[in-house]
Amino acid sequence: MPMERLNMRKIREVLRLKYECHLSNTKIAQSCNISRESVRKYLLRANQIPLQWPLPAELDDLLLEQLLFPYEFPPPNSMNPDMQWVHQELKKKGVTRWLLWEEYRSHHKDGIGYSQFCDLYRHFKQTLEPVMRQTHKAGEKLFVDYAGMTLPWIDRNTGEVFETQIFVAVLGASNYTYVEATASQNLADWIHSHVRTFQFLGGVPQLLVPDNLKSGVTTPHLYDPAINLTYQDMANHYGVAVIPARVAKPQDKAKVEVGVQGIERRILAKLRHHTFFSVAEINTTIKPLLAEYNQQLFQNLSGSRLSEFESIDKPALKTLPVQAYEYAEWRKARAGIDYHIAFENHYYSVPYQYIKHELDVRITPTLIQAFYKGKLIAAHARIHRKGHTTVKEHMPQRHQAYAEWTPERLLHWAKQTGEQTEQFIQALMMSRPLPQQAFRACLGVLRLVKHYGAARLEKASARALALGAISYKSVESILKHGLDHKPLPYGTKTTTQPITHDNLRGGDYYH
């Protein structure tokens, strides 16, 4: 450009100060911190058009720049490169402007220079839709987000109306788009939408670019965003990297935002008068409209999203893994003194060496896995009922190397409170296949003495024994509701004599 080029905000200010405030060129130059010569040239160009003041509302910065600084094309001839072909080639991996210019000059020895080649391409990109001006490599990025619009569906049985969320995924190079409705934006729906997207594409991109949605990103950060562990687990399964869009950086997600806008206008708006009775019915209706959307021809380029996908993105996608990702949640847990971790009222053992260590627990519909610093230390089939799952190899040999807790120690501690408490703790350990499986509950009972005192715990233990209510919750409930102060129901009586029962062993058993 033969003259100084400033941002259009300053140029608008030059025009305002001249035509609205009637300042001299010197005053305008001082106010805008530019040279008087630049002010003179900007105003000369504005007068040559001529521009009206105030500027029309539809005259945005791009149009204003094109009016003030029109691009001077070289004379049309067969030696000028085809910029649409250049634009398509630049999407392919490893292709650069310099490489394309070299190939062009190999066929046109007297063709335009590299600088003019780049100027022609920059001007060509300005004629495209804003989102298409960014050059995305084939198979590189998949942009994912939710649309602002929702679609309602009605429960036939109750008449209640629910709003579905609209998941949108757009491939960077081809703009090929996937859309589906989900019941919510929760983590499970978010992950399952990604799995179905990969199946729809028939392959996997190199990068996922989500907005800073809580389901995908737990802690947004400019340089080091924290990715949700389940989202990261899914990404690892498919061999894809997650690079969230930066906060307050709309250019990072322009592709999906324009894609969302197109989906809202060309699919969702068409369904505004439809009545749906399930999420599945909505997705069945969306499917042909999505196919039509992807096949629609571009306005300023040849082809469609589908044809671009078939020729550019699809060949560059990575192969899908043999098995689709199985949804898994991640939790933090600490193994108790009984070397078990709890999930939904079921207890799963881990090697006793990890007692009191913080563990990462991966939970699928069929599997419970425990990790310590990324190392798998235990895996169990998931059990959907109360109880314990204990692997013998996780137990300390003969329970004597096992930390400081043993059945003998618990019985000794209980005896300090009273005989009834000792008998209750013994019965509690005997109610489980292995005494260690009751350690957590035993500790809970013994710690009740801190809040209620030894005398009340003795009475509560006696009442629980008499009623056959051998659990921590029973003793806690008796104390909480003051039932230890009340006489037992007719026909029951407490005893201070040792319990005799086939399933109860004496204290000597534990030695």
User: How far is Cα 419 from Cα 459, in angstroms, rounded to an integer?
Assistant: 10
179 and 223 within one domain: yes
| Domain stops at, among 342, 369, 399 | 399
**Domain boundary pick from 17, 40, 68:** 68
Q: Which domain holds residue 333?
A: 329-399
Is residue 215, in this structure, part of any structural domain at all?
Answer: yes
Higher pLDDT, 405 or 326: 326
Same structural domain for residues 149 and 233? yes
- Long-range contacts of residues 86-91, Cβ cutoff 8 Å, at least 24 apart: 86/121, 86/124, 87/121, 87/124, 87/125, 87/128, 87/135, 87/301, 88/312, 90/135, 91/135, 91/136, 91/137, 91/138, 91/173, 91/174, 91/312
Q: Which helix (H) or strand (E) element contains residue 40?
A: helix 36-48
Distance CA(402)–CA(418), nearest Å, equals 26
Same-domain check for residues 358 and 418: no
Whether residue 222 is predicted with pLDDT greater than 90 in this model: the reply is: no
> Which structure tokens are listed for 375?
């190392």
Whole-number pLDDT of residue 36: 86
3-class secondary structure, 197? helix
DSSP letter, residue 82: -
Identify whether the C-beta of residue 358 lies closer than 8 Å to the C-beta of residue 338: no
> Beta-carbon neighbour count of residue 30 at 10 Å?
13
**CB atoms inside a 10 Å sphere around CB 419:** 16
Return the structure tokens found at 87. Answer: 């634009």
Structural domain includes residue 323: no
E strand map for 383-506: 387-389
> What are the structure tokens assigned to 83, written together?
């910029």
Q: Running DSSP on this structure, what letter comes out for residue 464?
A: H
Q: How far apart (Å, rounded) are the C-alpha atoms in residues 303 and 91?
A: 15
Beta strand 161-171 with 346-349 is unpaired
Q: How far apart are CA 95 and CA 330, in angstroms?
A: 41
Residue with tokens 């949700």: 228
Residue 319 CB neighbours (<10 A):
9
Beta-ladder partners of 361: 331, 370
Query: What is the CATH classification number for the domain harbouring 243?
Result: 3.30.420.10
Give me the pLDDT at residue 348, please.
93
Tokens 């692997």 belong to: 391
Q: Is 371 part of a structural domain of the chain? A: yes
pLDDT digits (tens, 9 = 90+) for 272-329: 889 999 999 999 999 999 999 999 887 766 788 899 899 889 999 999 999 999 999 8
pTM: 0.54
Q: Which residue has the higher pLDDT, 188 or 493?
A: 188
Domain-located, residue 1:
no
Together in a domain, 115 and 234:
no
* Domain boundary pick from 356, 371, 399: 399
**Domain identity same for 157 and 298:** yes
b/e 86-124 (16+ beta carbons within 10 angstroms → b) = bbbbbbeeebeeeebbeebbeeeeebbeeeebebbbeeb
Q: Which residue has the tokens 């929760």?
A: 186
Q: What is the pLDDT of residues 131-157, one digit of tens each?
A: 444 567 888 889 999 988 899 999 999
Is the same domain home to 169 and 239?
Answer: yes
How is residue 213 written in tokens? Answer: 């949605």
Whether the CB-CB separation of 152 and 274 falls below 8 Å is answered with no
Eight-class DSSP state of 422: H
Q: Report yes or no on 201 lying in a domain.
A: yes
- Shared domain for 411 and 395, answered yes or no, is no
What is the overall mean pLDDT for the chain?
A: 81
Window from 393-407, 412-426, 490-504 with minimum mean pLDDT: 490-504
Read off the pLDDT of residues 4-32 as tens digits, 9 standing for 90 and up: 444 677 788 888 888 887 888 888 887 77
Q: What is the pLDDT of residues 227-252, one digit of tens each?
A: 678 888 898 899 888 887 765 555 55
- Provide the Cα torsion 137, 138, 142, 147; round to 10°: 90
Amino acid at 492: T
Could you tell me if 393 and 290 lie in one domain? no
Question: Does residue 324 lie in a domain region?
Answer: no
Phi first, then psi, for residue 374 (nearest 5°) are: 85, -5
My answer on whether 473 and 358 are in the same domain is: no
Number of domains in the chain: 5
Residues 28 and 145 in one domain: no
pLDDT 10s digits, 171-219:
988 889 999 999 999 889 999 999 999 999 999 998 888 876 555 555 5
Does the pLDDT at position 505 exceed 50?
A: no
More confident residue, 12 or 78: 12
Kindly state whether residue 321 falls inside one of the protein's structural domains: no
Mean pLDDT on 377-394:
88
Where are the alpha helices (H) located in 174-326, listed in sequence order?
Answer: 187-201, 229-238, 254-263, 279-295, 305-308, 314-316
Same domain as 257, residue 376: no
Residue 266 banded pLDDT, cuts 50, 70, 90: confident
CA 295 to CA 33: how far, in whole Å? 51
Q: 419-430 and 439-447 helices cross at what angle (nearest 10)? A: 160
| Polymer length of the chain | 511
Answer yes or no: is 458 within a domain. yes
Q: How far apart are CA 124 and CA 442, in angstroms?
A: 76
Rounded CA separation 4/99 (Å): 30
DSSP 204: B
Pair of tokens at residue 201: 């594409």
Sign, Cα dihedral of 498, 503, 508, 510: negative
Q: Which tokens is 264 given?
A: 């809202």
pLDDT tens digits along 88-138: 777 766 678 888 888 888 878 878 888 888 888 887 777 665 444 456 788
The answer on 345 and 391 residing in a single domain is yes
Q: Say how far apart CA 243 and CA 143 lie, in whole Å.
A: 10
